[in-house]
Structure 1
């Protein structure tokens, strides 16, 4: 079967100073970085939804991107053929999908289940042929009109049951395909107005739902990691998984710590008023760091623009936190990014992934140089080098008064440290 991507070249690695446009300049999966291959640190994945399902439509205009397949089973097979043709040319090792990305909804729940089962066989054959693996799967619990008031938090118990059907089946298909993680994104688990919302009840429903998901994971013997993907708002006014700290509180409240980690998206972090590196550092400090969706927003837009990353320097602080944490384990870097509405040429998707992958690889190398240099870590350790005071509050207060202590302000040396980061861009640094 021919596809729209057949004329695209396979992307080679050439060199950082190459003038070729469709080549990798920094992404070399076999290159050793801090004792491990670059490919093991990054574990990059293509997002099936944006790359092969997204149409370029927006609230003000019709689809613009060429998508020569319809929403039928024949269309799903043609889409899968094209997706793997593209991924073979790009050469990344993983992909990710929602159930409704790869198989049509169907006229009923039962038909949707049958469609996904049939497409799982198609995907399995493509994966065996190409060696491309599944980083994670998930269920789309936000697009269908039934989920307009949420899935797990929906006031209608039958909608809750529909969500149970989709998640159970999507997790089982993920397991069947050898997926290494399973993600839950609460796109509509939140509220638009408190006038009709019972917060305590919805929190309890969401906690019950996630406990059921964890129980089913163990029941079927799925060994992958369960991940929640935080986002503060959009499409709802307020979503219950707004950021990493909120997710931690939810997991602790519902006795789920140790069972679930987080999949952090760069653009979701900035929508929450945080930096990408803050959310990664917070997750690592709380034992929740699992995987990342790599993209960026536009500082002039207040919504989730999902653009491909192109600035390695902006990614260095995030890479530094991932290296400090020892990596992402079974997680990876999923390119949850989409083409711009005007990017209608077939090779635009290849250019987008090449630029994003090279930016990540360059930033990883840059961050590794900072760790090897040692000055950044030495400065951080020195800032906490003081001996902690022990005893009760009264003991500490009495001792401080007895010594009449007068601590002097110490510089945080921020500008010096920022210069060290900037200088690490030069290989000779």
Structure 2
């Protein structure tokens, strides 16, 4: 059988990892699929950069789009990154030239996934993207193939290693958010501008793809509710732990009567649950199928070797002749993403209040909750922390912060937000209340 010829654009962490994998395991791969996989063209920003990988005899292309169109390759591997620009142009060029495409570009697919899938289907080629979600974890293949006969009820998981590392360190080492973030940046887990990770947007890109695969809808990144972990304090971590919970940034997507509820946010989960034990930069994705039950996939969510492994898996599928619609359901049959009203989310909540230490303050809080039909499961009050008057001031400081932790019974998000707005306006708290959903897994 003829070799399968690759053109690889982007020789950074993942591209270099892929070349290393093919060089180390090339004979093994050829034996199991019955044909050689051969790299015939490469492209990157800097041709002279030392990468520690031999590319002798491989044609160099200064323009990735030219590589994508080149007739000497069968598969175009896009590892450039970015939701637009040359990455999009190159992928479009390859698909239009009836070439299979493998990509790890979650941002590109979250924004242009439907139109690129349509182009792939029109030209009868594959658009594979296992590495775009959760690194080396085979979650895309699981949804596309292994669970294809199931109706998925919910998909959720830890989709960003940076956030999981920060929350894990805050929990295990009793450290402040800012301190751990600086460490994550020094270790290379977080970028110099970490907003994309800690703001929840990276996880939201991945959740947009999982949602489409799970529920047969068009990719709709803009319909995902996104909250980051910037507001999580050591007080929240400690309070959650004392109540039997861990705080994790989860992406959650599920069908409800009002539509699809897709959200990325910090949540409290029972510390005895399996996903609560997933620590550090590790990712985890859980899928609830109506016949399979709950399946939890855990593994490295980033890094050269795990991500290259996922890219190589996609290439092997193409070598075997496996071509399926990119989002399982053909584009023409994908449903519009109907967004559920988040204010109708029904569940329990964690609330942290910095309450003024004055008569009637707690009674007013309880009344505000009760007026919205919110039943309280537990209230934990800590010793007040006296707030000292500024140095040199003759004014008497007559108030103190009284930390109060509340766990509610199940209620609607609308009721919670209205109650907390009332509490804040009534002047009973010294800072904005902290509210975190409790996720039942």
Query: TM-score when scaled to structure 2?
Result: 0.27
Higher helix share: 1
Query: TM-score when scaled to structure 1?
Result: 0.28
Higher strand share: 2
Q: Which has the larger radius of gyration?
A: 2
